[in-house]
Amino acid sequence: MAEKHQHDREYGAGAQSRELRRKKRNKCLLYIFLFIVFQTAVILLFALTIMKIRAPKFRLSAAAFDTFEYSSAAANPSFNIRMTAQLSVKNTNFGQFKFEDTNIAFYYNGAVVGSAFIPGSRAKARSTNKFITVVELSSAGLQNRAQLGSDLSSGVLAVNSGGRLSGKVELLKVLKRKKSAQMNCIIAINLAQRIIGDLRCN
């Protein structure tokens, strides 16, 4: 009878030991699973935020005028305006954006009335690079001036600016992706006050 009790105690102790090992093993597997889930979440977050490459934004952000001449005479309406423009390249990526030389053009009713050369440069990671350029806006090359006299008489001259910056975004000094930044702005020049009355960029 004593031997039976001894056997039962040993069996019970062994079962308890096996149960403890099973619980430890399950706990270990749970920790491994949670670690894998955490690592996966970190990798996904990294891929969706830091590694996601977006096109930088290219804008005309401000302007002032040096020379300002115009005539709304019906016989020969004209304008000759020297504009100092501030351009900006906003780079929201976690790597620098290095862009090549380019030109931007200014249009009145679809016809080019001015242009400016933009030398290649770079916008640092998550920063805005601002620079100045001087543009001569002139109606000298306009073939059709039917609308020009009316626009000048209204006191507002609407000009569009357009251009494209082509370059590469560099991440971690290893990954490079080609990206371009497009400028498309509408500038409403207040002729009486000689200021930018309205400036909108898409």
Q: Same structural domain for residues 66 and 41? A: no
Same domain, 79 and 151: yes
The Cα 104–Cα 64 span in angstroms is 17
How far apart, in whole angstroms, are the C-alpha atoms of residue 177 and residue 34? Answer: 34
Mean pLDDT, residues 79-94: 97
- Separation of alpha carbons 56 and 167, rounded Å: 10
- CA distances in angstroms from 147 to 71, 166, 168, listed in the order given: 13, 34, 41
Q: Which residues contact 130 (CB under 8 A, 6 or more apart)?
A: 61, 86, 87, 88
99 & 175 share domain: yes
Question: 175 and 151 share a domain?
Answer: yes
Are the C-beta atoms of residues 185 and 201 closer than 8 Å to each other?
A: yes
Of the three residues 35, 52, 69, the one that is the final residue of a domain is: 52
Within 8 A by CB and 6+ apart from 146, the residues are none
- Cβ contact 62:196 at 8 Å: yes
41 and 130 inside one domain: no
Final residue of a domain: which of 37, 52, 67? 52
User: 14 in the Ramachandran plot: left (φ > 0), alpha (ψ -120 to 50) or beta?
Assistant: alpha
Residues 106 and 152 in one domain: yes
Full domain range(s) for residue 36: 1-52
Out of 32-36, 76-80, 132-136, least confident range: 32-36
Residue 109 backbone zone (phi > 0: left; psi -120 to 50: alpha; other: beta):
left
Which residues does 93 contact at the CB level (< 8 Å), separation at least 6?
53, 54, 56, 125, 126, 169, 171
* SS3 call for 134: strand
Asked if residue 44 and residue 68 are part of one domain, the reply reads no
Q: How confident is the model at residue 175 (pLDDT cuts 50, 70, 90)?
A: confident
- Tens-place pLDDT, residues 125-146: 999 999 999 999 999 999 989 8
Pair (43, 108) in one structural domain: no
pLDDT attached to residue 22 = 83
Q: What is the mean pLDDT of residues 22-48?
A: 75
Token readout for 177 is: 């992706």
Same domain, 37 and 137: no
Do 104 and 184 lie in one domain? The reply is yes
| pLDDT of residue 92 exceeding 60 | yes
Question: Are residues 48 and 62 located together in one domain of the fold?
Answer: no
Number of domains making up the chain: 2
Q: What is the CATH number of the domain that holds 191?
A: 2.60.40
Residues 61 and 47 reside in one and the same domain: no
* pLDDT tier at 4, thresholds 50, 70, 90: low
pLDDT at 136: 98
Distance CA 32, CA 201 (A): 51
Report pTM: 0.77
The pLDDT assigned to 6 comes to 56
